[in-house]
Chain A
Amino acid sequence: MARGVVDARRGQPVTAPPLLTAEAVERVYRLGREVEVHALRGVSFTVDRGDYVAIMGSSGSGKSTLLNLLGALDRPTSGHVRYDGRDVADMGDPELAELRNRRIGFVFQSFHLLPRLTALDNVALPLVYRGGTPRSRRQAALEALTAVGLADRLDHRPGELSGGQQQRVAIARALVTDPALLLADEPTGNLDTTTGDDIMELLERLQVDHGTALVVITHEAQIARRADRTIELRDGLLVPEVPA
């Protein structure tokens, strides 16, 4: 999808700052009084509207830390994470919550569905923090579930769904708020290869259809290869970007 169309739809001027920038991001964890773990040692990159980026790295490379920072769940020790040019460090709790609610859709490895809610209510959950009538929320959730091919599973609870179906519900939940960025953390990690491929195809289709930026965090080169761009992390630093 051409970027111009996206910009027009979102009403963004063409000169708008990039969707997401990371500038010399460092994250240090303090374990006890003496020990410091440098999970990220200065990482910079940009994700623009409609981009499809894979962040790759082995376990311990700092990719979970990076995911938390990109998802505005955490703040860097130094450096800047900016959304639409605004530094996450300058935002208070309500603003961060709103940013996560309106701009970011999370897809987790372990789905993170609430077991006592139906698929429809799980998908509608982010809309609860946004106002609107229950009726409009149900309508939006229904559309999102239809988009991921689960229109016939609305009243099922997560326990009654297969892993692939649960991840589809989670994707619908990420999508229902019409976010600018889909942030997928090892989305196929708990699935078999065939189901994993289906999920990746679904994410890619939605990325194109909705003009959403898609950032996939993975340790599998095979998954990373599907993206337009791969950012590789090693010991908290970027390996120079490899064009696809």
Chain B
Amino acid sequence: MSAREAIRVALQALLSNRLRSALTTLGVLIGVMSVVLLVSIGQGARTEITGAIEGLGSNLLFVLPGDGDFGAGPTRSRFTTDDIERIDRQLPGELPRVAGSTVGAESLQADGQRFNATVQAVTAGYTSVLNRELGRGQPFSESDVVTSRRTAVLGATTAEELFAGQDPIGRQFSIAGIQFRVVGVLTRVGGEASPFGPDQDRTVLVPVTTGQRLFGTDRIDSIFVRASSTETIDVDRSTTERVLGERLDEDEFSVVSQDEIIGVVGDILSILTTVLGAIAGISLLVGGVGVSNIMLVSVSERTREIGLRKALGARTRDITVQFLLEAVALTVLGGIIGLGLGIGGAALVAAFAPVPAEVTWWSIALALGTSVGVGIVFGVLPARRAGQLDPVEALRRD
């Protein structure tokens, strides 16, 4: 029997029992859909978070409190603005090369509009060190910092929420009841909050001195160092480590590069994606067992047909292939529909949920490959049983 003929016969058999075929394929459908959807979400999170880190610009070093073990709990920072100045003085080239930030969540109010934002108390060099561009206005100056002036630079979303389309420059608003004046608005960067920073569009930047007073602290949460080039990044790192080491213990701070963070984050998210995919894979497995079960029922129901086909000249192989193709057709059908629903679901998630989702070609290939594989693996047993039926017994059955 030709391959084309075999496929035709298999499809015919499936179509003659539409409801059962549909229900059987449902298991595989749901399995493939969840694999595609969950892997997309994992992948989307990875792209977004690494993108957010990369968006800070390359050649960036992060100085974080603690010994740099990501598994450890949060560590209280002992950095101060002095540290920032001391590092900056030791680095060659144009200043500022070093910036610091302390973060807190506060309620903002302007003209009756309320908005909860992340308030970042930052040094004057923050926007230039972190490559943040301003759409309007100016960043606050060194003198704003020195005199603890109540000026602020708004993230794009914060500006919209507070001033609803009007020009915010020069306008007043309050942070926790204290009046501030808007001097600048950042350009929109898109993206979400990540473990390495708040949603950059929903922030308010205020001078570090003003912010520290607001939060009641004299500490800096994190320090950012911009190396002058990729080549000097290691030199700048050891300079930074040496300067901080003069005042702090070795395990009270760690200097990591952007690549290292992306590497670690990427590893974590790969594991997350794999685990999500594996969980979804279990439902695919259950779907496969369902296919196997129904194919066995089908073989037993069609015993007479199998006997007849053998009497008419079907070889054992023809019968085995026919039933195997039926199983594969079932799972591939479920795979294709599941893939469609998975891609659609990922698009819905990306559009409406705060979770990013990104369908990758390899998750599509994986889903389709797996559905063929499931069909073969779970179809072999019933198909072999069909092929090996004794035609005499099979024809006798009524």
Q: Is the CB of A106 within 8 A of B311?
A: yes
CB-CB nearest in chain B for A100? B313
Given A114-B305, A114-B308, A128-B9; A102-B2 close (CB under 8 Å): no
The interface size bin for chain B is: 20 to 34
B384 at the interface (CB under 8 A from A): no
List residues of chain B with CB within 8 A of the CB of A93.
315-317
Q: Report the minimum CB–CB distance from A193 to chain B (whole Å).
A: 24
Q: Which residues B345-398 have CB closer than 8 A to chain A?
A: 391-392, 395, 398
Q: List A residues 194-238 near B (Cβ within 8 Å).
A: none
Q: In the complex, A146→B391 CA distance in Å?
A: 29
In the complex, the chain A residue whose C-beta lies closest to that of B4 is A134
How far apart are A184's CB and chain B's nearest CB, in angstroms? Answer: 13
Contacts of A134 in B (CB 8 A): 5
CA gap between A122 and B128 in the complex, in Å: 80
Which applies to chain B's interface (DSSP): helix, strand, loop or mixed?
A: helix
Nearest CB of B to A126, in Å: 4
A73→B317 CA distance, assembly (Å):
16
Across the interface, which residues of B come within 8 angstroms of A114, CB to CB? 305, 308
Instruction: Please name the residue on chain B nearest to A106 by beta carbon.
Output: B311
* A102 and B313 form a contact (CB under 8 A): yes
Contact A97 B2 (CB under 8 A): no
A101 contacts B312, C-beta separation under 8 Å:
yes
The answer, yes or no, to whether A3 is at the interface (CB within 8 Å) is no
A7 at interface by CB-CB < 8 Å: no
Residue A80 interfacial (CB < 8 Å):
no
Is A129 part of the contact surface with B, judged by Cβ < 8 Å?
A: yes
In chain B, what residue has the closest Cβ to A132? B2
B313 touches A130 (CB 8 A): yes
A-side contacts of B395, CB under 8 Å: 73, 108, 112
| B12–A126 touching, CB < 8 Å | no
CB closest chain-B residue, reference A102? B313
Q: Say which residue of B1, B12, B309 sits within 8 Å of A116 (CB atoms).
A: B12
Q: Is the CB of B392 within 8 A of A97?
A: no
Chain A 107-119 per-residue mask, 1 if CB under 8 angstroms from chain B, else 0: 0101010101000
A138 to chain B minimum Cβ distance, whole angstroms, is 13
A160 an interface residue at 8 Å Cβ cutoff?
no
Query: Who on chain B is nearest to A98 by CB?
Result: B313
B150 touches A (CB below 8 Å):
no
Asked if residues A129 and B12 are in contact (CB atoms below 8 Å), the reply is no
* Shortest Cβ gap from A56 to chain B (Å): 21
* CB-based contact A68/B392 at 8 Å: yes
Taken together as a complex, chains A and B put the C-alpha atoms of A177 and B312 apart, in Å, by 9
* A126 x B312 contact (CB < 8 A): yes
Expressed in whole angstroms, the minimum distance between the Cβ of A100 and any Cβ of chain B is: 5
Could you tell me if B316 and A129 are in contact, using CB atoms closer than 8 angstroms?
A: no
Q: Is A23 among interface residues, defined by CB-CB distance under 8 A? A: no
Query: What mask results when residues 65 to 79 of chain A are scored 1 for a CB within 8 Å of chain B, else 0?
Result: 000100101100000
Given contacts A73-B310, A97-B315, A98-B313, contact A128 B304 (CB under 8 A): no
B192 within 8 A of A: no
**B123-167 interface bits toward A, Cβ cutoff 8 Å, 1 = contact, 0 = none:** 000000000000000000000000000000000000000000000
> Which residue in A74, A94, A128 is a CB contact (below 8 Å) of B317?
A94
State which residues 1-43 of B face A: CB under 8 Å: 1-2, 5, 9, 12, 16
**Distance A112 CA – B397 CA, assembled complex (angstroms):** 11
On whether the beta carbons of B316 and A125 are closer than 8 Å, the reply is no
Return chain A residues, CB-CB under 8 Å to B214.
none
A72 to chain B, nearest CB (A): 9
Q: Mark A128-141, 1 if CB is under 8 A from B, else 0.
A: 11110010000000
A173 to B308, CA, bound (A): 12
Q: B392 contacts which of A74, A108, A173 (Cβ < 8 Å)?
A: A74
The distance from the CB of A226 to the nearest CB of chain B, in whole angstroms, is 24
> Judging by beta carbons under 8 Å apart, are A73 and B12 in contact?
no
Q: State whether A128 and B5 are in contact (beta carbons under 8 Å apart), knowing that A73-B395, A97-B315, A116-B12 are contacts in the complex.
A: yes
In the bound complex, CA of A102 to CA of B311 (Å): 11
CB contact under 8 A between A131 and B392, given known A114-B305, A173-B312: no
Q: A93-B316, A94-B317 are in contact. Are A71 and B311 (CB under 8 A)?
A: yes
Counting CB contacts under 8 A, is B341 at the interface?
no
Point out the residues of chain B lying under 8 angstroms from A125, CB to CB.
309, 312
Could you list which residues of chain B lie within 8 angstroms of chain A, going by C-beta atoms? 1-2, 5, 9, 12, 16, 304-305, 308-318, 391-392, 395, 398
Q: Give the 6 A-B residue pairs with the shortest CB-CB distance, closest first.
A: A101-B313, A97-B315, A129-B313, A126-B312, A116-B16, A73-B391
Which residues of A approach B to under 8 Å, CB–CB? 68, 71, 73-74, 93-94, 97-98, 100-102, 106, 108, 110, 112, 114, 116, 125-126, 128-131, 134, 173, 177
Q: Can you name 7 A-B pairs with beta carbons within 8 Å?
A: A68-B392, A97-B313, A97-B318, A112-B304, A112-B311, A114-B308, A129-B314
